[in-house]
Amino acid sequence: MDDAQALMMALAAPNVHIMAITCTHGNTGIENVCTNVLSVLKQCNRMEIPVYRGAGTSLLGVLHPNSASHGKKVVDNAPHPDAQCVEHIHAEHAVNAMERIVNEHPGQITLVALGPMTNVALAAKMHPTFPSKLKSLYIMGEYIEAQDNVRVCGAFNFFTDPEAASIVLSHFTCPINIATLEFCLRHRLPTAIAGQQAIQDSEKAQSMKKVTAQTAESSQQVQSSKGSLFGSGFVSFDAYTMAAAIDDSVVKERAQYGVSVELHGSLTRGMLVVDTLDILKLPHKATVFVECDMEKFKQQQVKAQH
């Protein structure tokens, strides 16, 4: 749901040129991911954007689908891509496409990683110059305060492929920007907004409204079952990451730290480790988002409805 919102925001941004959308395993299998992406492009009339199929499992060959949270199918009532649309998936593998595009436009490409980073890690290992040729990398990140959304410690994107996350954070020399889950949760939108958005009658606007409502309902279910340390309201995680990639001024406050990923802990595997005291002396620091300009964030969501 939040992936769809993020894509719609990027599609609506006048200053963004989307070179490609690359798919990876995530809350559902790779084929459903590709289908969902095509559905969003179809309802937004943007089928000219190339879509590439990538990794179907983690680097270790594991698949952790979490379809119970987001569902296996596309958004309710969204147009399902027909056979001709499915053929729109390019034959070139996502990793090769990423490397080719970055080589054609060195220093100009911003990569936004909204899911597990298997494709990104593979690109770095297969093409060693890839990490230095990106303009910047934006990551939908992890908890940094030992919270969870799939286990005691650890969140879905990192826990699903910890080795990939570790490779990315240790190999990439371009600017790395991380929207932590705490950053998103501390900037919740009022639940009432879910019913107020998308007053336009367009198919895309109504779909955006449905996605927002589904996200709000999911947030309420989590709050009722687990309680919330961050107040009430709903949060569309990937949308915050995309908003910052579209307009960096959406982030009002940020901090730079060395970061790593725990790979061996029996309870903490997949955790994002933030070296706030610089004990590890890591040469490359990541930018961690702290405060969001909520008015600018809301404006981007409104634009996505038109």
Question: Which residue segments constitute the domains of the chain, with CATH numbers given?
Answer: 2-303 (3.90.245.10)
Give 253's strand partners. 291
E-only strand ranges, the chain:
21-23, 51-53, 89-90, 110-113, 136-140, 176-179, 251-261, 272-275, 286-292
Which residue positions in the chain have pLDDT lower than 50? 67-68, 77, 198, 222-227
Query: What's the rounded Cα separation, in Å, for the pair 229 and 223?
Result: 9
Nearest-5° Cα angle at 95, 94 to 98: 85
3 state DSSP class of 180: coil
Say which amino acid occupies 75. V
Specify the pLDDT at position 225.
44
What residues contact residue 12 under an 8 Å CB cut-off, 6+ apart? 44, 300, 303, 304, 305, 306
Residue closest to 132 by CA, chosen among 173, 178, 72, 77 = 173
pLDDT, position 152: 54
pTM over 0.85: yes
